[in-house]
Each structure stands twice: as C-alpha cells, then as structure tokens.
Amino acid sequence: MNSKKAALLLLALLLVSCDRPGIAERMNSVLEGMETEMGYVNTLDDSEVEKFADWFERHGDPSAKSRALFCLGRNQFNSGRYAAAIVTYTRALEYARTASDTLSIARITRDMAHTCNATWNTTDEIRYLGLSAQAFKAVGRENESQRALLEIGIAHAGLGNHRQAEDLFKSILYDAHERKDTLLEAHCLEAYADLSVSKDTLNPVLAIEMLSRATDNLRYPLSSADKGILAYSYSLIGQTAEAAKWLAEARASAELEDEKATVAFRNYQIASRSGRAAEALAALEKVMEYGNRTQALAMQEAVVSAQKEYIQGQSLAQAEKLRIARMRLWILGLGALLMLAAVSAVYLSYRNRQQRRLEEERAETEKYMSIAEDLQDKLSSSRKRLPSEKHLALSKFDALERLCEQYYVYEGTGNLQPKILQEVKDIVEGLRSDPKTQQGLDMMLDRNLNGVMTKLRAEFPAWKTEDYLLYGFTAAGFSSTTISTLLRMEKSVVYNRLYRLKGRISESKSTLRDFFLECLDN
C-alpha cells in the first residue's frame, strides 16, 4: 500500500513538472519497490501503471524501460487482459535484449509463457519456456531453469507428446534429487505420476510409487488431483477398496471448481471400468457442465475486456483530439498575427480537417461498438447452450457432440472403455439409420428454429434423405467432425456437399430460402 501511495505521489509530481530535480531517482526507487511487491494480485490499477511505464519509456534507459513494462505486463495479466499483456511483454523483451539484461529476458519470457497458457496457446508456451530456461541457466539460476523445464514437460504431456514429457521428467527428477531440491522433486513426482496413468501404456504401479515417495520420503502433502490419481491407479490394479478410499479423500479435499471437475473425471474413469454405466455417465455430465460453464465465463470476461478497451480507446482519442486542437489553435493565433489575410483560408482548412477527423472517429466508434455487440451476442448464445431443465434436450445433444469427437478420433482402437464405446456407437448408429432418432432431431429443431425441418421438407420434397440429415446436423450446430462421423464421410466431402446444398437453396424460388440459409449459419 505504501508503494501505491508513493507511485501516485510521484505521478502527480510528474504531471506538474517532468524536469523537476531528483524525479528520476525517486521514480527508480518506486520501480524497485513495485518489483519487490509484484505478485499475482494487483495493488495498482492498470491505468496507474501505464502512466508509470510511459514515463520510463520517455526518460529511462533500455533496462529501466524493460523493467517498467514488465511490471505493466504483469498487472495486465492479473487483470485478465491477456492480449494487452502479451503486447506489453513483447516491448519489454525488446528493451531487455537491447540492454543485454539476461535475467529480465528470463523473467519476461516466463511470464509470456504463462500468458500463452492462459489463452490455450501451448505451442508458444513451450517456445517461451525454452527461452526462459536457457536465460535462467545463463545467469546461474539453475533452480528456476529446472522449473521452466518442468513446465515444458507438463505442456508436452498436455499435447500428448508423452515420450518428450517422460524424458524431461526423468532428467529433472535426477537433477533435483542430486541438488536436494525437495520442492522441485515433489512437483516432478506429481507430474510424472499423472503422466503414468495418461499415456497409451498405463503404469499405475509407477504412479503409486511416485506419489508414495513424495508423501513418505519428502513429506509433501498430496493435493486433490494427486489423490484422484491414486484412486484411478488402484482401480487399474484391481484394488477397489483402496480406490474408493482415495476417491473419497479426493472428493473431500476438492475445494475449487476445477478440482471438483477433476475428481468427477476420475470417478468417471473408475466407474466405467467397474461397469457402473449410470454412475460413469453422471460423473461425465458433471465434467461437461463445468466445461460449458467455464466457456461461458470466459466469453463474459472477453466482453467485459472489450468494453474496457473501448472506453480506454475513447478516452485516449478524446485526449489526443484535445491536444491536437490546442496546438492548431495556437498555430492559428500565430498565423493571425503574421498574416490577417490568411486567417479565413486557414480557418476553413482547419474546420474541414476537424470534420473529417470527427467522421473517422465516428466510424471507429461504430466499429468498436459493433465488436462489443458481437461479443455480447456470442455470450448470449453461449448462455443458451448451457444445460438447464428447460433445455434438457439441447444439453443431451451437447453431450453427444463431445462423445462424437472421441468416437471420431479413437474409433477402431482399444483406448476407450468398451461399454462407453458401445454406448457411443448406439447413439451414432441411431442418428445414422434410426428414423425415430432422426425424427426426434427434426422435432427439436422445429421447436427451437420455428418449424424449420417441416418447412424444409415441404419446400424441397425431392431431396434425398442424406440432404435432410446434412441440413439438420448443420442447423443443430454439430461440428464438421461430428457430421463426418454420422454420415460416414470425409470432412472435405461434408464441406463440398454443404456448399452445394446452400447453393441449391440460394438458387431456388422458395420464399423461405433466406430463413433456411440463416438457420444454417447460426
């Protein structure tokens, strides 16, 4: 809090006089305080830190510019403004490289990796973590370098690159044990245990040994996710009592929503292996509901962020317009003193430029408003897709959407549990060939899209059955992967047939053709 007051005081002094003696020393002192207190909870508003960083960009050396922009990027990251944060970090990285400040490069690239992780950009996350690990190692920060490598391994595991992840975990585990870095060793054991029950060749015994070593030898407390791994591992080796015990402990220690969703996923895995199909599907539905809820919240945050960016852009535009207007008024006044005859021409030119500028600003304002409205519409659509009692049928088709994704990827392999695979096959085959199931889809679309399927069949009675199915699946919002699975076609064939279907509707003389095309595009 003291740093916040000091920062505000110095910013006020800066507005009075940027050249006041001693201001640079005091600004550097506050920068050091901000770096010391910097964490993942903001103590200053983004606007305050932006003014602070702007001063250093105009008056500081490359190293100070990099440090100030790094503080701004962290502040923006904590505020959820990931796009703004990555831009700020990129500028900070350029200044750090100019100053040959390797430690700053390491810290900046690590934060850039975390920002990429928050936006699901795993490829760039791995690239920035690699740069961070190299930079930390170059300045002798071996512990932080190894932690960056551990994050790379976890990212590879998330992408399914199990061999690369396992090689990294083995190397880090050996190095951490040799250097007696207990915390790093425990974190690596956790990640290795998770990998052991996630890769194609499961090794539950290794997972149990890893977590037992973490808790018994290193005295490391197990998290809810670790207990879920133990429960699944024991179920894989047939120890159902131990599996039930650890699953209960995982459920009891889960506090956050993502932890509860992880426990529900482990419950689904264990129940499906035991043949408890109803319990498995109930657990899977909880996981899917959490995913939908998370997606809706992310969309809401995007709308709020867009609105904030719009308001800030408006404020900056007004300030810039005021500055330019004052400068031009001064020029006009000086011109009036020098040449009275030129006043009229200068004034007319000024007014025309102002009019054009206002028109450009109005167009820009409409563009930003359109962006905000589009995001709001997407948020509303996302909320409508959330499961509820009123829209139970739609939520079931949402479950079908995800199950079909798994069916498309893993059909023909032994990776899916037999009972779940059989249930997915029953659903898919029903939509492929069961008239009752297809009629149920038509009825759902009629209720939600103003009788679209009944009207479509009346307007185009000569269509083939596959044409009606392709239209219905697309109008229901199924992905190209799902439609390819249901119709036994390649994605390219689906795209071509859908393109031709739209063309036939567009070229028809039906009075409802715009309505039919709109249902396909929604």
Specify burial of residue 351 (Cβ count, 10 A radius: 0-12, 13-18, 19+). exposed
pTM: 0.52
- Tokens coding 50: 């932006």
CA 114 to chain CA centroid, Å, is 11
Query: For residue 411, what is the DSSP state?
Result: T
Which residue spans within 167-311 are E strands per DSSP?
A: none
- Tokens coding 128: 């920035």
CB 502 within 8 A of CB 470: no
Query: Which of 93, 47, 26 is closest to 66 using CA atoms?
Result: 93
45 vs 21: CA distance, rounded Å? 27
**What amino acid is encoded at 339 in this protein?**
M
pLDDT value of residue 415: 57
Distances (CA, A) of 475 to 232, 412, 458, 521: 39, 29, 17, 8
In tens digits, the chain (522 residues) has pLDDT values of 455 545 544 554 454 444 445 666 777 777 777 777 677 677 777 888 888 888 888 888 898 889 889 888 998 898 888 888 999 999 999 999 999 999 999 999 999 999 998 888 889 999 999 999 999 999 999 999 999 999 999 999 888 888 998 999 899 989 988 888 889 989 999 998 898 888 888 889 998 898 899 888 888 898 888 888 988 888 888 888 888 888 888 888 888 887 888 888 888 888 888 888 888 788 788 878 776 666 555 555 544 454 555 555 555 566 677 778 778 777 887 877 887 776 677 777 777 887 887 777 565 445 434 443 443 454 345 434 433 333 334 444 555 565 566 566 556 666 555 555 565 666 667 677 778 877 888 888 889 888 889 988 888 988 988 888 888 888 888 888 888 888 888 888 888 988 898 888 888 888 888 898 888 876
Give residue for tokens 């831009």.
87
